[in-house]
Structures are given as structure tokens and as C-alpha cells.
Amino acid sequence: MLTVVLLIQLFRGFFLTFFYRANVLLRFERVVYIIKDVNYGWTFRLIHSNFASLFFLFLYLHIMRNIFYNSIKFKKLWISGFLIYLILIIIAFIGYVLVWGQISLWGRTVITNLLRIFPFGNIIIILLWGRFSINNPLIQFFYSLHFIFPFILLLIVVVHFYILHIKGSNNTFSVLNNNEKIKFYNYFLVKDIFTIIYLIIFLTIVIIKPIILLDRENSIKANYIISPIHIQPEWYFLYIYAVLRSIPNKVGGVLFSFIIILLIFLLIIINFNFDFKTYWVNKISNCLTVYLFILLSWIGAKPIEYPFFTIGFIFSIGFFTILLFKIVFSFFLKNILS
């Protein structure tokens, strides 16, 4: 499913570049032009924007499945997958910015201003913007990245598949005997045919409710003077957004978010293969991680007010604690008990 959706995104995104213009004065009008005046342009644009949500949905399901199967012990496979996720975040954010709606403008303003916490942050922002405000240079830069990065992503996906082909996928019982592996044909091939059914269901939703997964506020042209009442990212970024805003201090929020990403990467590096004695500890911590991810996504969509701010802070600390516990527990088992 992930592969099919990725290829669809590349195909439709390539054709959308024919009509888009990376210009502040024209880009919102060009999006409207694609929807209204280009033959079947509305299908290309709506499917391209909605399939981003579908891609992240399958990606999170894929990650959760492998967390429960403890596939994190395949370090090279997980590192390549981690890189895929990071590049996908950049692609999705940049693509959302190019629409030039209200949420696009103010979301980009918030994210780029986070660079001010770093040394020489103001200089970095001016170099990134190309001017003293967000204008054509930044949009042209983002447009180039949004076109190039998907091909880099495709290359890493090929590497990911190659490592998977060498190692083999994991299973519930963590059986790694090559003689007991299931062949791709005809078992997995028949199962993958159901991809067509899922795509038909999702396309039906897109046609009937085309903006059900999109922010209505982003259908309004960007305005520097009026900011939206409640700025929030797409649903697939809500969990990290909830963590970011849970810390009252801007510097603390950014550092806390980076620390969580660093803990996930450390967990990949030092992960220990749990045996039957510690199996239940791994499963409980995995379940709590998934539950907190869902709860943080819910909190991220709520206004920054009581009690959501307090609940978000508690969930963020809990998310951090569980990741730290898994790292310490894995390091303890790997270097002391073994």
C-alpha cells in the first residue's frame, strides 16, 4: 500500500508541476486555476493532497506493526526507515506550504521562526527567507525541494527494500529461519491485490467529501495581517506539535522535541532482543507508546487552554519517560544481564 501510494503521489505531483507557479502573487490563484480550469485538475490536486494523509496513515500502521513485532532489532532496516520518515516529514511540510493558504502561511512562519533558538538564528532565517520577510525566494527554494526530495525518498525506499530482501520481514514469533519463510508468490501477491479495494474506498471518500481530511482555513488565501484563531498542522504532525507546545518556553519546547527524536534514534541503535522473561515489559511499553501517540495527536488538535494544555504536558512527559525507560532497560539487558 505504501509503495502504491508513493508512486501515485510521484505521478500526480509531476503533472501538477506543469501548472503551478512558485510566485507569491500567483501561487494561490494557480491552485484555484488547477482545480477549476485544468481538465481533471481537481482530481489530481485533491488526490495528491488527500493521499498524503493516506500515506501517513499506512506509514504509522506499518511502524506500529513493527514495534509490536519488535522488528527494531533489524538496525539497518529501521535506520533506513527512520530516514524515510524524516524526509517524508520535510516533503509533507513543504508541500503544505506551497498552497499559500492561511494555515500554510502561519504554519510556515511558526516553524521557520523556531530557528531563532539556535546561535545566529536570525541570520539563518534571513538567509532561508532570502529577504526580511517570507517572499518569493523562500517559495522557490521550497518548490525546488518539494520536487527533488521525493526522488531522494524513492532511492532510500529502494535501499529499504533491498535490506528487507536480505534480512526478511519479521513475524509474531520472531522466527528467522530461512527455511520457514513464506515466498512472495503467490501468498503476498494475492494479498496485495486487495490494495485496489482500499484505493477504491479511499477515492470514493475523496470524491464525496474532498476536504474531509483538509483544514478549511487553508482554503482562504494567505493574509499577513489576519492570523487564524487556532493554528494547527495536519493530523499526522499533531503529536509532535502537542509536545512542542506543551513546554511554555520556546527553547525548551524545541529542545524537548529534538530529545524525543534523539531517543527514538538511540532506541534503534542499542535495542536489545527481548526474551520470554522480559517479553511482557516490551509489550506493555510498546502499547503505552502507541496509546500516548494517539492521545498526543488528539491533544494537538485542541486549543491551547485549560485543561488541554495540562493534559498535553502530562502526556508529553509520559511519552518521554517511556522512551527513556525502553532505552535504559535495553541497555541494562544488553550490557549487564547478557
Catalytic residue ranges:
165, 169, 191-192, 234
Nearest to 17 by CA among 133, 150, 106, 136: 150
What one-letter code names the amino acid at 194?
F
| Residue 221, SS3 per DSSP | strand
DSSP state of 307: T
Helix (H, G, I), strand (E, B) or coil at 226: coil
Q: Hey, which residues does 221 pair with through a beta bridge?
A: 101
Report how far residue 164's alpha carbon sits from residue 150's, in angstroms, rounded to the nearest whole number: 21
- What is the Cα–Cα distance from 203 to 12, expressed in whole angstroms? 14
Residue type at 276 in one-letter notation: F
CA distance 268 to 271: 6
Share in percent of the chain as helix, strand, coil (round to 5): 75, 0, 25
Burial of 179 (0-12, 13-18, 19+ CB in 10 A): exposed
